[in-house]
């Protein structure tokens, strides 16, 4: 919430001349974070002489396939999530490889760093030793295929109508039926669940040779919400959130999972993947959730998609790992978290997908402390091209330009071109276009899943004018969503107005203190996607100032 710089040959010539006049002086020395970002950029863009071509994980073994150029002695090494692909020493599982092509098979589980370590979490890399240090000779690669222990059925929402933050509340469950909801999100704050020691009302979960403990009270509440969705055929995305240490149920777990660079303005933290102890605790709770919510019998409900953290392009507030991180450094950790969840859940469910969470910012960062979503997605694509693709999806939040103003059709920063600063309900055509481009497809062919996983228009007050404008914003957005086949589902947020929602009233119902009365937008959402849609939506044409719902626009370039 970036336009690409285009450098002409004349500009290049001028820069070269200026450099020469300055005596070919080097640029300013990079800081530690900047150098790290530059090293990662070089790693992702370099063509290496060797390659890991495939990694296959079966129940008890992992097989790594690759090739070399035979120009020297190479070693195949392993990089754990808490390791560093750019490290020059200290790699694990060093095995010599020298032939033009090779296949090496390893035990899947090994004793490492005090744990029974599952190597499906690792990347594999070819290096060459020079003067006592390792030189990268290939890109690293994650497991391409992980044999699942269960047989599940792939499920997709029956319609595009969904609801955000589904909770254990009888009146909300009733609305799931009345509104015709077919998809939902559920917030999963893992540090409210996970404990390091046993206690009353805690379930033991064994992972990596260690015991972890799950608080049954919040777990049962989540079960009820997921079972309610199961009983209605609702497809669910779980949102994995990590509370900071100060808000964690167990101080030990809180300290382990909070990123070491976390700063106090963060509502949530990026998980700490810098050491074995923290990484295994994170893996343990993901493993517990995957095991519980991918059962073929759906005893506790099912999670079909896994949204990783919240609005990562606004990192200080929503997925904090410190201030001033270059986007490449931030993404290196975020990709590790994505891959960990993907590889853990795929051990159980061969159809599970992880999703990345972004605000309505697109080609331009919202401010100097945020990132542009498009930059982050392009970086993720580069990781997929170099380290092996995996079927991630996009969970996008297309709130209006000004969250307080429901007239999204007036958003003047939402343009109909790929370089638009933001994407809101106004210009969803851009997002639909982007998700269908060949370079953004899984393995170049399969469209990635796209959910609008947190969206809504505001009613500044409960006056008739404000509620009508809020409903008109929904009618505009839904009309586009219904016609754009790149968009798979839309979740309205929130079910009711919330006292801690920054003064917004974006719910379908009023505040609890106002009796949770249905707002005008509730009735419009109920009609959306039904035979009554045309009749109900007609009221909002003059509100918006248009004569028909023929509102789709062509997407321009750039």
Q: Is residue 449 part of a domain?
A: yes
Express as a percent the part of the chain with pLDDT over 90. Answer: 90
Instruction: State the pLDDT confidence band at 29, using cuts at 50, 70 and 90.
Output: low
Instruction: State the pLDDT confidence band at 410, using cuts at 50, 70 and 90.
Output: very high
Q: Is residue 34 part of a domain?
A: no
Same domain for 237 and 99, yes or no, is no
- Report residue 233 as tokens: 């055929």
Q: Is residue 365 part of a domain?
A: no
CB atoms within 10 A of CB 234: 23
Dihedral sign (CA 499, 258, 252, 285) = positive
Tens digit of each residue's pLDDT (9 = 90 or more) over 335-383: 999 999 999 999 999 999 999 999 999 999 999 999 999 999 999 999 9
Q: Is residue 500 part of a domain?
A: yes
Same domain for 130 and 263, yes or no, is no
Same domain for 116 and 245, yes or no, is no
What distances in angstroms separate CA 371 from CA 1, 3, 269, one per listed residue?
6, 12, 16
Instruction: State the pLDDT confidence band at 15, using cuts at 50, 70 and 90.
Output: very low
Q: 379 in the Ramachandran plot: left (φ > 0), alpha (ψ -120 to 50) or beta?
A: alpha
- With 0-12 / 13-18 / 19 or more C-beta atoms within 10 angstroms meaning exposed / middle / buried, residue 420 is buried
Check whether 316 has a pLDDT greater than 80: yes
Domain containing residue 442: 397-558
Same domain for 326 and 384, yes or no, is yes
What integer is the mean pLDDT of 298-305? 98
State which of 146, 171, 189 marks the end of a domain.
146
**pLDDT of amino acid 331:** 98
DSSP codes joined into one string, 258-297 = B-TT--TT-SSB-B--SSHHHHHHHHHHHHHHHHHS--TT
Q: How many domains does the chain have?
A: 3
pTM of the model: 0.93
Dihedral sign (CA 389, 395, 400, 402) = negative
Same domain for 103 and 168, yes or no, is no
Q: Is residue 310 part of a domain?
A: no
Check whether 131 has a pLDDT greater than 50: yes
Structure-model confidence comparison of residues 88 and 427, the more confident one: 427
Same domain for 139 and 168, yes or no, is no
What distances in angstroms separate CA 178 from CA 171, 182, 468, 510, one per listed residue?
10, 11, 21, 17
Same domain for 290 and 421, yes or no, is no
Among 21-25, 156-160, 207-211, the range scoring the smallest mean pLDDT is: 21-25
Q: Is residue 95 part of a domain?
A: yes
Q: Is residue 26 part of a domain?
A: no
Q: Is residue 12 part of a domain?
A: no
Same domain for 225 and 108, yes or no, is no
**pLDDT of amino acid 129:** 86
Same domain for 197 and 258, yes or no, is yes
Express as a percent the part of the chain with pLDDT over 70. Answer: 95
Same domain for 378 and 266, yes or no, is yes
Same domain for 130 and 165, yes or no, is no
Same domain for 137 and 200, yes or no, is no
């Amino acid at each position: 919430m970036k336009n690409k710089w285009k450098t002409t040959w004349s500009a290049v010539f001028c820069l070269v001349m200026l450099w020469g006049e300055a005596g070919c002086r080097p640029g300013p020395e990079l800081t530690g974070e900047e150098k790290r970002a530059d090293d990662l950029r070089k790693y992702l863009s370099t063509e290496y002489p060797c390659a890991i071509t495939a990694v296959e994980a079966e129940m008890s073994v992992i097989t790594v396939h690759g090739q070399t150029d035979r120009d020297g002695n190479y070693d195949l090494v392993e990089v754990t999530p808490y390791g560093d692909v750019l490290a020059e020493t200290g790699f694990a599982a060093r095995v010599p490889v020298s032939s033009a092509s090779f296949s090496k098979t390893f035990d899947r589980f090994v004793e490492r760093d005090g744990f029974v370590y599952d190597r499906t979490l690792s990347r594999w890399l070819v290096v060459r030793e020079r003067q006592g240090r390792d030189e990268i000779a290939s890109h690293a690669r994650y497991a391409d295929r992980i044999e699942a222990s269960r047989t599940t059925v792939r499920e997709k929402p029956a319609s595009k109508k969904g609801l955000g933050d589904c909770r254990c509340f009888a009146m909300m469950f009733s609305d799931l039926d009345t509104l015709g909801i077919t998809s939902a999100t559920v917030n999963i704050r893992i540090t409210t669940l996970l404990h390091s020691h046993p206690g009353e009302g805690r379930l033991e979960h064994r992972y990596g040779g260690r015991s972890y403990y799950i608080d049954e009270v919040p777990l049962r509440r989540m079960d009820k919400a997921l079972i309610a969705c199961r009983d209605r055929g609702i497809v669910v995305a779980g949102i994995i959130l990590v509370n900071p240490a100060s808000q964690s149920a167990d101080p030990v777990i809180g300290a382990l999972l909070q990123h070491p660079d976390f700063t106090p303005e963060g509502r949530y933290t990026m998980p700490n993947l810098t050491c074995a102890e923290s990484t295994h605790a994170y893996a343990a709770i993901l493993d517990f959730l995957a095991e519980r919510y991918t059962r073929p019998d759906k005893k506790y409900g099912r999670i079909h998609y896994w949204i990783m953290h919240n609005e990562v392009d606004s990192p200080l507030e929503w997925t904090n790992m410190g201030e001033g991180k270059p986007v490449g450094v931030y993404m290196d950790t975020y990709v590790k978290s994505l891959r960990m969840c993907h590889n853990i859940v795929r051990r159980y469910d061969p159809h599970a997908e992880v999703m990345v969470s972004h605000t309505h910012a697109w080609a331009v960062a919202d401010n100097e402390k945020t990132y542009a979503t498009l930059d982050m997605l392009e970086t993720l694509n580069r990781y997929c091209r170099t380290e092996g693709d995996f079927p991630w999806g996009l969970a996008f939040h297309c709130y209006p330009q000004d969250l307080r103003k429901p007239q999204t059709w007036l958003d003047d920063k939402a343009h109909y071109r790929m370089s638009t600063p933001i994407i809101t309900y106004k210009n969803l055509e851009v997002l639909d276009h982007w998700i269908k481009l060949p370079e953004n497809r899984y393995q170049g062919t399969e469209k990635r899943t796209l959910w609008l996983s947190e969206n809504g228009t505001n009613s500044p007050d409960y006056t008739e004018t404000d509620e009508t404008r809020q409903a008109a914003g929904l009618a505009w957005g839904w009309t586009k969503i219904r016609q754009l086949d790149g968009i798979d589902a839309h979740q309205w947020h929130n079910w009711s107005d919330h006292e801690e929602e920054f003064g917004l009233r974006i719910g379908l119902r009023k505040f609890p203190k106002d009796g949770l009365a249905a707002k005008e937008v509730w009735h419009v959402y109920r009609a959306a996607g039904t035979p009554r849609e045309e009749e109900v939506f007609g009221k909002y044409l003059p509100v918006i100032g248009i004569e028909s719902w023929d509102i789709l626009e062509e997407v321009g370039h750039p």
